[in-house]
Amino acid sequence: MKDRYDVLVVGGGPGGAVAAETAAARGLSVCLVEKRPAIGTPVRCAEGIGREALREFIDPDPAWIAAEIKEASVVAPDGTELVLNAKLAGNKVGCVLERKIFDRELVRRAADAGADIAVKTTATGPVMADGAVRGAHLTGAVPQVGADVVIVADGVESRFARMCGIDTTVPASGMMTCAQYLMTGIDIAPERTVFTVGNTIAPQGYLWIFPKGERTANVGIGISGQKSGPGHRAKDYLDRYVRSHFPDGRSIEFIAGGVPVCRPPPSTTADGLMLVGDAARVVDPFTGGGIYNAMFTGRLAAEVASDCIAHGDLSGKALAAYDKKWRESEMGRSLARNYKLREYFIRQTDDRFNRLIHSAAKIDLDEFSVPELIREFVVRNPALLADLTAFRAALS
């Protein structure tokens, strides 16, 4: 490890790993620091991702694919299940990953591309010069590393960005507080992801079952931080569900976690600094999915950083091309749309959820996507959704 690099990446999750790989592949000197001793553990994820989304970055490898998903279902508070078959993509719509292996593979690829990797190394604060970020103070063998650009991918905690003056604090209402068991010996449809909604089941969130084998699945729940408190936390709701639905199942792993579903800060760049992934608060606020968005922003940030380094301009203004590009991308537009979707979703009563899901129970979707599904809901429930004019416009 040297004391100077073109690019320093803080955090070894999918966002940081893809950023480091991209920058190194473009010939830049890159160092990635990860504070934990082992990449990817403990996992803080339900591990679901769209197949095509994944393919944009890496070819699926059985070494880290736990299950192939062919359909999804939404379960109403009254138990009605709406199964969504996708004809799209040869019926292979998604995968459930083994993230312990997947995350490490992404970091290995960054190393193969030429990046230095330092685990058990925490970035404790920025090195500043003339108001610009020019590196970081580290724990470990090298106490300080200088860099032209620091790409911050420190995940939900996002402390480094805050130390650089970008406020990424998540309000309680914008935090999905989550708990999950990896359960085995349970009766599930091994190729179907199941999402259960309802205010008594998962207030302002949902409960998920993501298969990882014939009788094994991630069974987890996310609720709004606003709805969390003593006796009614994510874990309390999860335990209640598991007791009634999988009384004979065995839990072989337990995790807790937080998914930031608030809006991103007004700018995700500053002089010498770029934020990517959860640190930039770019998780999809409707689905809670952030793996793809982390990889997407990680790659884009590294591309813009390498262009800026080539032109010798590392000002916040030059790096802001990254901010503009992700907001204008399909990912950025889908985020903007899904904030509205989430606001709508969290206002629904159980009765409304039931009516919505009953009305849609017979749809055979050609396309497996949130806007397509919502369009169908809107078409079938004009009266129910009459208050959604602005929302409809956003989808058209």
Ligand X SMILES: Cc1cc2nc3c(=O)[nH]c(=O)nc-3n(C[C@H](O)[C@H](O)[C@H](O)COP(=O)(O)OP(=O)(O)OC[C@H]3O[C@@H](n4cnc5c(N)ncnc54)[C@H](O)[C@@H]3O)c2cc1C
Binding site for ligand X (CB under 6 A): 10-16, 33-36, 44-49, 122-123, 153-157, 159-160, 178, 180, 220, 257-259, 277-279, 283, 288-292, 294
- At closest approach, how far in Å is the CB of 155 from other proteins? 7
The CB-nearest residue to ligand X is 290
Q: Which does 203 bind (CB under 5 to 8 A by kind): other proteins, ligand X, none?
A: none
Among 117, 175, 280, 331, binds other proteins (CB under 8 A): 175
Among 52, 214, 254, 313, binds other proteins (CB under 8 A): 254
User: Residue 47's closest CA among 14, 87, 20?
Assistant: 14
Q: Which does 108 bind (CB under 5 to 8 A by kind): ligand X, other proteins, none?
A: none
Count other Cβ atoms within 10 Å, centred on residue 44: 18
Write b or e for each residue in 330-364: b if 16 or more Cβ atoms lie within 10 A of its Cβ, otherwise e. Answer: ebbebbebbbbbbeebeebeeeebbbbbebbeebe
Give how far the C-alpha of residue 205 lies from the chain's centroid of Cα atoms, to the nearest Å.
15
Site for other proteins in 42-101 (CB under 8 A): 42, 44
Q: Is 288 in the site for other proteins (CB under 8 A)?
A: no
Candidates 48-56, 82-90, 169-177, 307-315: pick the segment binding other proteins (CB under 8 A). 169-177
Q: Give the DSSP H/E element, type plus range, for residue 158.
A: none
Among 46, 170, 318, 374, binds other proteins (CB under 8 A): 170
Strands 30-34 and 116-119 come out as: parallel
Radius of gyration of the chain (CA): 21
Q: Which does 291 bind (CB under 5 to 8 A by kind): other proteins, ligand X, none?
A: ligand X
Q: Is 375 in the site for other proteins (CB under 8 A)?
A: no
Question: Helix (H, G, I), strand (E, B), or coil: what is residue 80?
Answer: coil
Candidates 64-72, 142-150, 176-184, 323-331: pick the segment binding other proteins (CB under 8 A). 176-184
Please, how many CA atoms are within 13 Å of residue 6, restricted to the half-sphere of its CB?
24
Beta bridge partners, 195, equal 74, 208
Q: Which does 233 bind (CB under 5 to 8 A by kind): ligand X, other proteins, none?
A: other proteins
CB within 8 Å of 34: residues ≥ 6 apart: 11, 12, 16, 107, 117, 118, 119, 120, 121
Task: Identify which of residues 231 and 266 has a Cβ nearer to other proteins in the complex.
Answer: 231
Task: Identify which of residues 237 and 385 has a Cβ nearer to ligand X in the complex.
Answer: 237
- At closest approach, how far in Å is the CB of 201 from other proteins? 16
Question: Helix (H, G, I), strand (E, B), or coil: what is residue 66?
Answer: strand
> Using H for helix, E for strand and C for coil, what is the string for 103-141?
HHHHHHHHHHCCCEEEECCCEEEEEEECCEEEEEEECCC
Position 274: which residue type? M
Please confirm whether the linkage preceding 190 is cis (ω < 30° from 0): no
Task: Identify which of residues 4 and 159 has a Cβ nearer to other proteins in the complex.
Answer: 159
3-state helix vs strand vs coil in the chain, percent to 5: 35, 25, 35
Q: Which does 13 bind (CB under 5 to 8 A by kind): other proteins, ligand X, none?
A: ligand X
Q: Which does 171 bind (CB under 5 to 8 A by kind): ligand X, other proteins, none?
A: other proteins
Say if CB 34 and CB 60 are below 8 A apart: no
Q: Which does 172 bind (CB under 5 to 8 A by kind): ligand X, other proteins, none?
A: other proteins
Q: Which does 47 bind (CB under 5 to 8 A by kind): other proteins, ligand X, none?
A: ligand X
Write b or e for each residue in 8-24: b if 16 or more Cβ atoms lie within 10 A of its Cβ, otherwise e. Answer: bbbbbbbbbbbbbbbbb
Candidates 19-27, 223-231, 328-336, 369-377: pick the segment binding other proteins (CB under 8 A). 223-231
Site for other proteins in 129-158 (CB under 8 A): 155-158
CB within 8 Å of 7: residues ≥ 6 apart: 19, 20, 23, 28, 29, 30, 31, 147, 148, 149, 150, 151, 302, 305, 306, 309
- At closest approach, how far in Å is the CB of 310 from ligand X? 25
Q: Is 128 in the site for other proteins (CB under 8 A)?
A: no
- At closest approach, how far in Å is the CB of 281 from ligand X? 10
Task: Identify which of residues 79 and 143 has a Cβ nearer to ligand X in the complex.
Answer: 143
> Residue numbers of the site for other proteins (CB under 8 A)?
35-37, 42, 44, 120, 122, 155-159, 162-163, 168-172, 175, 177-179, 225, 228-230, 233-235, 254-258, 260
